[in-house]
Structure 1
Amino acid sequence: MIGILLLTHEDFGAAMLKSASLIVGEVPGTLSVGLNRGDDIAMFCDLVQQTIEKIDEGDGVLVFVDLFGASPYNAMAMASARVKNKFRCISGLSFPMLLEALTMRASYNLDDLAVHCMNSGAEGVKELIAEMGRM
């Protein structure tokens, strides 16, 4: 099973996982690591590497970060040189992306799951009035 790791500011990732479990049930092989105010970035990088190693069952890990170029993203970039496990990292974490990752990870390999989740994230953005056919 592909592991799923959320790297976010504070408790955003933990709240996303809690909400996802309400819809899809248990979410094994999935963890969230939040970067809190005052955290040491080097220690956070070490924790990222250790968490990837912990949840990888052999099929790799799909890492979601909340914001491109922000500290969790940069920490993943720094840790990536030391991570020996196969992983893919997607920025711009959204609820549609996460739900697709959780429900489709048994159906895809890591590379295809990453592409599928990015597409789902883009397709999940809608404007109500336009969707109702009114302009």
Structure 2
Amino acid sequence: MSNNTNKDIKYWREKLTDEEFRVLRLKETEIPYTGKYLDKKEEGIYHCAGCGNPLFDSNTKFDSGCGWPSFFAAKKEKIDIKQDSSLGMIRDEILCSKCGGHLGHIFNDGPEPTGKRYCVNSISLKFEE
């Protein structure tokens, strides 16, 4: 991880809302079907809510039916993947490559052309048209 914005806990508590802090820094998960970007269809770019790093183009977003915004591709070198063995299972966690913020998880059940599903917490994102 090349996170040149890996600040201390005090910095993040002051910068982020309580909910953003719990998800981005403590790796919690927002309740499914409640995220503000789940049904968003406008064209634009999804950025990390912690540091502004551009992560996903809207044209890679799809409705996976899982309850969180899903994308089949991320912007090159903007996401780090780390094995996550929490909750008694092995998954691949996705993190912002710039600040190390927790975004969600990646699965191999997405659509073509990648076959990937980046399952992302809305609270981890900021959208710009």
| Interval containing the TM-score (normalised by the shorter chain) | under 0.3
Structure 1-normalised TM-score? 0.23
Compare the two structures and name the one with the higher strand fraction: 2
Compare the two structures and name the one with the higher helix fraction: 1
- Whose radius of gyration is greater, 1 or 2? 1
